Structure 1
């Protein structure tokens, strides 16, 4: 069932990404879960939750399709949207130890929510972006973590992909667990690194979703038949090792397999 929400904040967080703040009454979500954001007459999209506290939902929305482009153009305080959820399986919140959070792009959003609630653990974050123009959430995550930044073009922080930064951190420090969210090719690399380091991993996957309740099959993982919307979006490393198409393929809107860019 959709809940009526009211936008109380809409601002550009970085290039192509809007931060949307919505007042809406939802069941308390777990970090890693997602909501479906509906704009009547336009469409509905899945969104990771960056934060939810006292009825205020924070989302980070990349402009890349019909619905998200419409939101970027029209959203302003007082605007009405509709939200359903939260859906799916979230992260296991660590009660102790030192954990490594690795985010790519807007994958930093659910990791912010996780870091905020992981008060019993020492959190270290490695966040990767295309360039300094795409950096987001550093100050927010910095309240709860020691933060390292990587950019593909070297314009801020470590020069190169964020999994290479994570590899360096894993070689120099001891971690009890790795959490990640971002592009699937990055997650595939981190799965390998976590296995080499001998630590467990939890990853939040993004797949094409239509229904969010496990009916349409758009987000199925081959060959396991697991549905990202219902059985995930967070999966552990043991499960992901059995996913043949991890980081290589996903299903498009018509159900056909589409290669993922590395």
Structure 2
């Protein structure tokens, strides 16, 4: 079992410089997921998703660096700030007579209660604004928790999987396919795994007072980048023609786990 690395109570300037590559990779990886959702065209108003994710990045960084704040307290603060920010961003999608934040929050709360009652009675949700709110909350927590795991050096692979699942579901059904975002996501996620390994080894080396090159992170990231480029380029020479029967069988096997989720999602937002 991989040991969980704890951050020190204080963050030195050196630690901060070591942290910057990881934060940049979070922007690449989770940013690609958010952009693919924002450009999906599922509904009007999804342009707020990058703004929501940007604030989540800042909040996640501040709370993760605030070492005296417990995990649960930090997540509670993130929940409140996220709701406040999302309500503010969703405001233009609501009735123009709702000018204050309080009015918009009350309106969304009423809609959420009504939506929950409809679903509980076996009905289907038709509120497009709540669909935007749901995706905004999803992007908020994806970005916030990914930043949190990078700064606190926790189980980053879980957030990579979470980001990957969201991206894959969106990629499966959206047209046109966000191929550029897919390349950015794959590259960012692979480099994040390398980054986490380097950070874990650095902690062990410093605990054992083992010297290491100052440019080690840069060298490791550069090597991983080369390997990633080679792997991506290698896919270009793979066979482009696959027998239809084999392709359909493989595709149906991949899609099977997502069908139940899709059915529940369509019941919740039947107008999409």
- TM-score w.r.t. length of structure 2: 0.28
The structure in which a higher percent of residues are strand is: 1
**Which of 1 and 2 has greater Rg?**
2
Bigger RCO of structures 1 and 2 (CA < 8 A, at least 6 apart): 2
